[in-house]
Amino acid sequence: MKIRRILSLFMISLLFSLSLTSCSRKEDKVSLKFEKTKFVNYSQDYEMPSEYINTYFVDDSEIRYVDATNFFKALKGFYMTSYFRVSSTYFSKNLSIFCYVNTGEKIFKTSVTFDWTNDKITVSDRYFFNLINMSVQTDYSRLISEKGATTTNEDALVFNLSDFGFNMYYKNGKCLVPFSIMNTIFCSNDYYNIYYDGEKYFGVTYDISSYTKENQIQLKTCSLNNKAQTQELREETYNHLKFVLNYYYGLKDFKNINSIELELEPYKEGILSLDPEVNKQTYYSYFVNHLDELHTRMGAYSFYYDPTVIATQDNWDLEKTSPARKKYKEVEEELKSLSTGIYNDENTYRVSGSTLVIYLKSFVTGTTEQINSTDAYKYDTYEFVKYALDNVSGQGIENVVLDLSQNGGGNVGALFRVLGFISDDSIEYCSHDYLFNSTSSSLIDIDIDNDGNFEDLDAYSEYKWHVLSSYNTFSAANSFVAMSKSLGATIIGQKSGGGMCSVLPIILPDQTTIEISSQNAQMAVVDGEYDLIEGGIEPDILIDYDKFYDIDYINSILV
């Protein structure tokens, strides 16, 4: 479930400039080497004017450090840096970046503080991570309005870098933080990632695994290919992995992981190896075989590895992959075989009697250009559902079945828009954030008829709505099953496959891309109570797989 930033939950009321209050204080007794590193933005979602990120090396270390203030300045276009203010005083011995937020009900200060003395980064609340600009290419919140958002039990978030072998420094008026840490906390968390290819930094939306094979190879072909790794790089990578799993892996409790150190111990030697092939096999063994859940996987292999080998090629090898993936693949093959000649791996719809079945391969949000085209239904899930419903209008349809049997997820904005067809009731969205130990809930309204009025009764409530689910109805599709059931839809088929956490893409210091079940876990009303939905949703009407695509049978059990 790739959850992008959907809604702007607040407005910024006070304008500040990104500037540092200068002062003198005792500096760390270290030597610095400076590198003005080229920065290229490949993301079409954000316009990034900066061409460089200042990089520093402490003493003889090869670990890349960035000045926290300069790093945010370089990300202007991604972060709303024109609203940021930076303060640093003699007595505080830390750097604070903050701004004021107006929620409509209150004005408050949201901030991140870098305490270089104790190697701690403190984020005051989740709002700081919402201070990013809207995509210039795609409107993920189109036709969506949020109201009544509440958050309970939110704690300030403290990253203890020294617990994972990392340090911060203050030198020459600059607060220096490891680049890999800044990238994870302030970029990966909002689905933008920066890579280093040995000569330059480059930024992409999500990660490079979302690119075509040819483009992945092009991006990965660089001076790091087959370059000898150092022990310091391997140790930094191992420490960063511990950091990521400790703070960001959302299924620790479900897998009874009490200690990340003990969890990684059997894999430590392979991760610390200087051989990139050993690194690759160790990552694969841990993320795919050991953790054994579909949201956690290899995204792209290390830049020190052969760039022509793409990670996804062997993620589904039944002879050596995980039990969860084996079952997913087996169900996938069965469903594809049963649907041969009916579905051609694309959205389509069919009619039998008074029943319309709409097959949705995934939940997709089209770009603004695609939405404005004459064939928008080819690119956007909401547009396709509307297209199918409009085409059967007047044909005596009473039942609509949304076939999510082979839907592995997608974008949550597209999910919300399709839910708007089912009912005029507000969509209740609830999630738990393990980073801040907070639970949030909000009500979502959809303007289905696109008239600018979110209060009118524009849902297609004249139909009886049903959702066909299978074990492969996963991630955002699993969320759709849970939320559609609370809106009154009938779930038919088999138990959905689960996947309650959004997927978080992470770049390790060796430029390996991993994707993990993140700290954001969705909850839904199941049998009248809020519950985490990792285990999937049981159907109201059980149907054997061999009947899934028999539309006449489906029609017969619904009339």
Instruction: Kindly tell me if the per-residue pLDDT of 74 is higher than 80.
Output: yes
Q: At what angle do helices 412-419 and 476-486 cross, to 10 degrees?
A: 30
Give the pLDDT of residue 6: 42
Listing DSSP states for 242-295 in one string gives HHHHHHH-TTTTTTT---HHHHHHHHHHHHH-S-HHHHHHHHIIIIIIIT--TT
Instruction: Kindly tell me if the per-residue pLDDT of 377 is higher than 70.
Output: yes
Give the pLDDT of residue 147: 85
Average pLDDT over residues 247-274: 96
**Spatial separation of the C-alpha atoms in residues 247 and 240, rounded to whole Å:** 11
Average pLDDT over residues 490-519: 96
Question: What percent of the chain is modeled with pLDDT above 90?
Answer: 77
The answer to which of 38-47, 144-153, 419-428, 502-511 has the lowest mean pLDDT is 144-153
List CB contacts of 204: < 8 A, sequence separation 6 or more: 42, 43, 192, 193, 195, 210, 211, 219
Q: Give how far the C-alpha of residue 176 lies from the chain's centroid of Cα atoms, to the nearest Å.
A: 27
The answer to whether residues 326 and 318 touch, using CB atoms and an 8 Å cutoff, is: yes
Question: Mind listing the pLDDT tens digit for each residue in 407-460?
Answer: 999 989 999 999 999 999 999 999 899 999 888 888 999 999 999 999 999 999
- DSSP state for residue 45 in the 8-state scheme: S
Neighbour tally for 539: CB within 10 Å: 21
Q: Write down the H helix ranges in 145-230.
A: 179-186, 213-220
Pairing mode of beta strands 120-123, 157-160: antiparallel
**Spatial separation of the C-alpha atoms in residues 474 and 534, rounded to whole Å:** 10
Q: Which residue has the higher pLDDT, 35 or 22?
A: 35
The single-letter code of the amino acid at 314 is D
Q: How confident is the model at residue 17 (pLDDT cuts 50, 70, 90)?
A: very low
Average pLDDT over residues 108-115: 93
**Length reported for the chain:** 559
**Spatial separation of the C-alpha atoms in residues 56 and 345, rounded to whole Å:** 49
**Spatial separation of the C-alpha atoms in residues 164 and 244, rounded to whole Å:** 10
Q: How confident is the model at residue 4 (pLDDT cuts 50, 70, 90)?
A: very low
Tokens of 7: 């809604």
Neighbour tally for 60: CB within 10 Å: 8
Give the pLDDT of residue 402: 98
Type and span of the H or E element at 170: strand 169-171
Instruction: Kindly tell me if the per-residue pLDDT of 23 is higher than 50.
Output: no
Question: Mind listing the pLDDT tens digit for each residue in 274-329?
Answer: 999 999 999 999 999 999 999 999 999 999 999 999 987 666 676 678 899 999 99
Give the pLDDT of residue 137: 86
Instruction: Kindly tell me if the per-residue pLDDT of 16 is higher than 60.
Output: no
- DSSP state for residue 287 in the 8-state scheme: I
Among the listed residues 368, 404, 398, 395, the one whose alpha carbon sits nearest the alpha carbon of residue 383: 368
Pairing mode of beta strands 490-493, 464-469: parallel
- E strands of 10-153, at which residues? 11-12, 32-41, 52-58, 65-67, 85-87, 95-102, 107-115, 120-123, 144-152
Average pLDDT over residues 377-406: 96
Instruction: Kindly tell me if the per-residue pLDDT of 507 is higher than 70.
Output: yes
Instruction: Kindly tell me if the per-residue pLDDT of 172 is higher than 70.
Output: yes
Q: Give how far the C-alpha of residue 325 lies from the chain's centroid of Cα atoms, to the nearest Å.
A: 20
Mean pLDDT over the full length of the chain: 90
Give the pLDDT of residue 527: 66
Question: What percent of the chain is modeled with pLDDT above 70?
Answer: 92
Q: Which residue has the higher pLDDT, 379 or 107?
A: 379
Three-class DSSP labels, 498-543: ECCEEEEEEECCCCCEEEEEEEEEEEEEECCEEEECCCCCCCCEEC
For residue 167, the SS3 value is: coil
- DSSP state for residue 136 in the 8-state scheme: S
